[in-house]
Amino acid sequence: MTGYALLIPELLVLLAAFWALFAEKLPGGDRGAAWLGAVATLAAAVIVAVAPLATTGGPFPRMLAFDGPARLARIVMCMLAAVWLLWTAGRGQGRVREAVSLALFALIGGMLVAEARELVTLILAIELATMPAYVLIGYRRGDGKGLEGALKYFLMSMLTTLIMLYGFSFLYGLTGTTRYSGMDLKGAGTLGVLAVLFAVVGLLSKLSAAPFHYWAPDAYEGATPWAVAFVSTVPKVAGAVAIVRLVSAIAPGVPLAGTVLLVASVLSIVLGNLGALTQTDVRRMMAYSGVAHSGYLLLGVAALSIPGSAAAIFYALAYAIPSMGIMLITAEEGSQVADFGGMAQRRPATAWVTVIMLFSLIGIPPLVGFFGKLSVFTAALQRGFTAVVVLAVVMSVVSAAYYLRIVRAMFFAEEPAGHLGVTRNGAAATAIGVCVVAVVALGLAAGPLLASIGVVLR
């Protein structure tokens, strides 16, 4: 019975989500709900951090795992949500209560996705995590582009979920179980390959990895940068843990499993980086670069090894944290690259913070993004993917080309005419500050962190 205490963080988030739903009638209103959400998610992160691991036991031991990867992912997702809610509490305008509660529901879904060790739980958790995301994308009701983006996301997501379900039915048919622990596809032949292929399609789409990434640029462009900040980060961390768990359960014994992932990885890295190169809208640029980063993450997964899996999970946070920070700054400044013009004069500290986060995404040491790339490449080279790694590093130079466009705008361009000034806001500044501190600190502490993921995955 005490095992249920492990779900206290989820419960806290759930309570905050309900509070936000009825914020209209409750003291504090919309912003109060965001504040409460920020406090609840922060508390959840702290509780997860101090709670003991329950690798085998815990509540629902056949469905949920409370192991190291789950713990790390829950902490990071809760912190990301806390940052997002803190920013919302500071700068959120108008009717944000539904967004707050949607984000909190999506967070619970994301946490369950990271914990799921069984197919049906995974499907349910994924649905809980993505349903609110559709609404967040189309949050502005009168905005045609937002609705178009949300619809595209919804249709693509539904289609791939159905394919994934189809794959899960194969898995169940072949192994007679929906639990990861008992799955053994050895000797399943072609059917096993198809099962793996279909099963990962859904997660590839959730990670906006190629070739299922076409929804992302349109969906993000239609959404507010504020919504993108959440939708493009928190689900990716959950998705990374989920795909690592699923793949390490079903890939052994299936000959082409690694190849499928490797192809998706290469396609994502190439299409994402080349796609981002020509964008003038930060949301589209970050959508394509998110595709590319998912490709790097999948390169770790495709290595089908413990260091590779650890690297993939680590890469997810190395991507999500600066991405959150940059999208929040985009929400303040405006969604075009040109809107960043002259920022170094207007807001020098924020401009430098942006520089640090962009350099982390490029993979410049000693920031967290560098160690993410280093660990992924190490795992991939260990498996002999030398040519792919060379391609991947060359593509990371391409990524420097478009990330530097934002730097160039901030430092060497004029403020565009009619650009709205940004007022000072302590809560929002703290939120972005947390992101940049994490980018630097996790870079310096990358070793222990990576090792701890690797140890618990063993």
Query: Which residues contact another protein by CB under 8 A?
Result: 359, 362, 364-366, 370, 374, 377-378, 381-382, 386, 389-390, 393-394, 396-397, 400-401, 404, 408, 411-412, 446-448, 450-451
For another protein, which is the closer residue by CB, 125 or 389?
Answer: 389
How many of the other CB atoms lie within 10 Å of CB of 31? 19
Gap between the Cα atoms of 341 and 269, Å rounded: 28
For another protein, which is the closer residue by CB, 259 or 345?
Answer: 345
Q: Can you state the angle between helices 97-115 and 68-91, rounded to 10 degrees? A: 170
How many of the other CB atoms lie within 10 Å of CB of 14? 18
Q: How many CA atoms lie within 13 A of 351 on its CB side?
A: 19
For another protein, which is the closer residue by CB, 162 or 441?
Answer: 441
User: Least CB distance from residue 413 to another protein, whole Å?
Assistant: 9
For another protein, which is the closer residue by CB, 42 or 406?
Answer: 406
User: Least CB distance from residue 210 to another protein, whole Å?
Assistant: 21
Task: Say if CB 272 and CB 392 are below 8 A apart.
Answer: no
User: Least CB distance from residue 389 to another protein, whole Å?
Assistant: 6
Gap between the Cα atoms of 44 and 75, Å rounded: 8
For another protein, which is the closer residue by CB, 381 or 422?
Answer: 381
Task: Say if CB 179 and CB 118 are below 8 A apart.
Answer: yes
For another protein, which is the closer residue by CB, 45 or 367?
Answer: 367
Gap between the Cα atoms of 212 and 318, Å rounded: 22
User: Least CB distance from residue 266 to another protein, whole Å?
Assistant: 16
DSSP states of 39-78? HHHHHHHHHHHHSPPBSS-SSSTTTB-BSHHHHHHHHHHH
For another protein, which is the closer residue by CB, 88 or 350?
Answer: 350
Nearest to 328 by CA among 180, 427, 241: 427
User: Least CB distance from residue 294 to another protein, whole Å?
Assistant: 20
- What are the two backbone dihedrals, phi and then psi, of residue 353, each rounded to the nearest 5 degrees? -60, -45
User: Least CB distance from residue 46 to another protein, whole Å?
Assistant: 25
User: Least CB distance from residue 279 to another protein, whole Å?
Assistant: 17
Q: Which two tokens stand for residue 357?
A: 């986060």
User: Least CB distance from residue 274 to another protein, whole Å?
Assistant: 15
Separation in Å, CA 155 to CA 131, 162, 214, 230: 12, 11, 11, 20
For another protein, which is the closer residue by CB, 39 or 413?
Answer: 413
